[in-house]
Chains A and B, each alone.
Chain A
Amino acid sequence: MNRDFVAGFLGLLLAMAYYAMAANIQNSQLADDVGPGGLPKIYGVLLAVFSVLLMVRARTSPAQAGGKMRAVAEELFAAKRGLGILVIGIGYIVTVPYLGYPLAIALVIAIAALYNGGQISARLAGIAVLGAFGLWFVFVFLLHIGQPAGIWADLIEGLRR
């Protein structure tokens, strides 16, 4: 199996799913001749056509097919490095409403640096704290852009009561 074949297959799946959704778009009484689903259906069909063409080309002229896929385990290992950053990002989205911006962004800096090859040290902690303070200073203090405050204000208020 080569990369282009897999890319074509994924494109075909996307085209089919998209077409199915486009076909289900409800027409309103205000609709023109083309309708809200008209062009999306055409896009879906054309993506499917080009995806199939890519799959056929990958089968018929492997020389142009963008190289072989490695074993699944190897592919996952190669992608893992990059996707680890994604996990850190998702972790940020999930935790920032509770932890608040300064703490959550400091953790992002520290964890992403560790993940990219850094080591646990006082320097790492210092850079995370300074980096978070710098970003907070620019966004919240200078530009007056609100960032999630977290549960701290409510927590302190609750403790006072």
Chain B
Amino acid sequence: MIDLSGLLNALLASPMIIPAAFAGIAWGILGGALPGISPSITMALLLPFTYGADPTAAVVLLASTYLGAEYGGSIPAILIRTPGTNSAAATVIDGYAMKEQGKAGEALGISLYSTLLGSIFGVALLITLTQPLAAVALAFQPTSYVGLGVLGLSVIASLAGESLIKGMMAGFIGLMIATVGTDPVTGNNRFTFDDPELLSGIPPILVMVGIYAVAELFEQASHPGWQQTNTADASIKMPDALMRARLRVSQIIGAGIGFIEGLTPGGGGTIAAFLSYNEAKRWSKKPEEFGHGSPEGIAAPESANGAVSATALIPMMGLGIPGSNSAAVLLGGFLIHGMTPGPMLFTKHYDVVMGLYAGKVISLFALLVVAYLILRPCIWLVNRPKHYLMAFIFALVLSGVYAIHNSLFHVGIALAFGVIGYAMKYFRIPTLPMVLGVVLGFMVESNYRRALVLSDGDHMTFTEDPIAATLLALAAAFILISLVRHFRDSTKAQEEKTPA
């Protein structure tokens, strides 16, 4: 049930939510519009700025950035045939074809309208589904948190992409990073090399900024500049009633698939966009138009992206398990302010949760307004020489990381994680399992050891707690299903390669 008075109270208690939602949308659209700058990078660049901000406004800023970036990615996809974000790749197909037919404004309008509808659907589900998921909070014991952490880590198996082994390696490296600092039970120093700056561990924010933003800057340095657009006078044209009726089925498909993919760990916008594109084509009355400028070919992936930007927050807020890079960065935003997403978030920081919901609702209005206002600056920005943009972003990263704790040592750590992220890209090792390990490692270890202290070292304590037992069983099932799927895919690939 939606607590409308709670939303209103949150808005009144923290009026900074409104400018944060507008600023997040604007920053997100600008960042998403720059090819190579994904929603997670756009959000990671903002993280240092949120450090001194009001916690509610900070998480609203990040969540709105996520939505803005999902829409922003479609602008270069339509105008210069280069998706600003991975999830906008499906929009390129028909978006650019419409632009070539002189319908850039219509394509941008369909993209905006569909992202908006998908987001409305996603936000409604976020508000109604997250709290029940976290309702078991009060019954949680240290054993339950271990179960939750192991479930989160088992997600690694499904996030591993092409290689389960590499995903597991990345996950364990993340867990190792989480052990740096003071031991949670005895207070012993571990892996600190006698450096006082490492006593409190490696803040996840530095890992995220390094892995997402710095590594991408390293990567971009070896890529040529992107194409420029001559559509300087493009303006958004919202679809008329006839067109809205035509788009309905594809938008329902997109929002539905976006909802499921947002909830699924490792799913995310890219898969949702392509799946919904294919399904929209299958159910379309004019499938032959797909690939040649079909409005439904834009509507389906964009409504999926809009839905994902909200529903991806459900497992992150309810269970503390980020299923995508962007959700992981938002989780980092919570951690910066001393809030741990998961069951207790709703009891300890109910005001912030309500504020985030209110901010998500406001960001829908903000998207509609800001998208119109910011289109021209966006086109201007995309047309700037890439070397200036990248240099400025690098300067922003260096300044922002220093600002977190006024520490040049932390700037060095972020750069080091940039190198690690760059190397992981080269070796095709997924980065999200590592981030998950960093985020969940401390929770798993501290609760595991506390539970054993309470039970005099008896491991059966984990099966005696019904919540822990259920979560551990789910984790085991998760790993088993992923293993079966992985080996089935490997065998199939092997069979296809073997000549008959």
Which chain B residues in 419-465 approach chain A with CB under 8 Å?
Answer: 419, 422, 426-429, 445, 448-449, 452-453, 457
Is A116 a contact of B188 with CB atoms below 8 Å? Answer: no
* Residue in A3, A44, A109 whose CB lies within 8 Å of B391: A109
A145 engages B497 (CB within 8 Å):
no
Cα(A57)–Cα(B172), bound, Å: 19
Distance to closest chain B CB from A7 (angstroms): 4
| B395 lies within 8 A of A131 (CB) | yes
A82 CB contact (under 8 Å) in B52, B218, B399, B490: B218
Contacts of A35 in B (CB 8 A): 186
Q: Encode contact with B along A21-60: 1 for CB under 8 Å, 0 otherwise.
A: 1100111101111111111100110110011011001000
Knowing A82-B222, A118-B385, say if A39 contacts B445 (CB, 8 Å).
Answer: yes
* Chain B residues within 8 Å of A82, by CB: 218-219, 221-222, 422
Within 8 Å by CB of B221, from A84, A108, A110, A146, lies A84
Decide: B408 and A115 in contact? CB cutoff 8 A: no
Q: Cβ of B396 < 8 Å from any Cβ of A?
A: yes
Q: Complex: how many Å from CA A25 to CA B220? A: 40
Q: Is the CB of A25 within 8 A of B188?
A: yes
How many Cβ-Cβ contacts under 8 Å join chain A to chain B? Answer: 194
From A57, A81, A84, A109, B395 is in contact (CB under 8 Å) with A109
Cβ contact within 8 Å between A64 and B490: yes
Chain B residues with CB under 8 Å of A76's CB are: none
A32 touches B185 (CB 8 A): yes
Q: A135 and B395: CB pair below 8 A?
A: yes
Known: A53-B165, A90-B415, A143-B52. A47 touches B176 (CB 8 A): yes
Closest to A21 in B: B191
User: Interface residues of B: mostly helix, strand, loop or mixed?
Assistant: helix
Q: Quick check: is A125 within 8 A (CB to CB) of the other chain? A: no
Query: Residue B348 at the A interface, CB < 8 A?
Result: no
Cβ of A88 within 8 Å of any chain B Cβ, yes or no, is yes
Q: Complex formed: what's the CA distance from A61 to B390 in Å?
A: 39
Q: Which residues of A contact B360 (CB under 8 A)?
A: none
Q: Is B196 an interface residue (CB 8 A)?
A: no
B369-390 interface (Cβ within 8 A of A): 385-388, 390
Partner of B179, one of A40, A105, A135: A40
Having A22-B190, A30-B187, A118-B387, one finds 7 other A-B pairs with CB under 8 Å, namely A34-B448, A36-B186, A53-B165, A64-B163, A86-B218, A116-B220, A116-B391
9 tightest CB-CB pairs across the interface, nearest first? A82-B218, A116-B387, A81-B222, A112-B391, A36-B183, A113-B391, A7-B427, A118-B387, A36-B188
Tell me the B residues contacting A by CB distance below 8 Å. Answer: 49, 52, 163, 165-166, 168-169, 172-173, 175-176, 179, 183, 185-188, 190-191, 214, 217-222, 225, 385-388, 390-392, 394-396, 398-399, 402-403, 406, 408, 411-412, 415, 418-419, 422, 426-429, 445, 448-449, 452-453, 457, 490, 493-494, 497
Residues of A within 8 A of B (CB): 3-4, 6-7, 11, 14, 18, 21-22, 25-28, 30-40, 43-44, 46-47, 50-51, 53-54, 57, 61, 63-64, 66, 78-79, 81-86, 88-90, 92-93, 96-97, 101, 105, 108-118, 127, 131-132, 135, 139, 143, 145-148
Name 30 interchain pairs, CB-CB below 8 A, sorted by A.
A3-B427, A3-B428, A26-B188, A28-B186, A30-B186, A32-B185, A32-B452, A33-B452, A40-B179, A43-B179, A47-B169, A50-B165, A63-B494, A64-B493, A81-B218, A81-B222, A85-B218, A89-B214, A93-B412, A93-B415, A101-B399, A108-B395, A108-B398, A110-B391, A112-B390, A116-B391, A118-B391, A143-B49, A146-B406, A147-B403
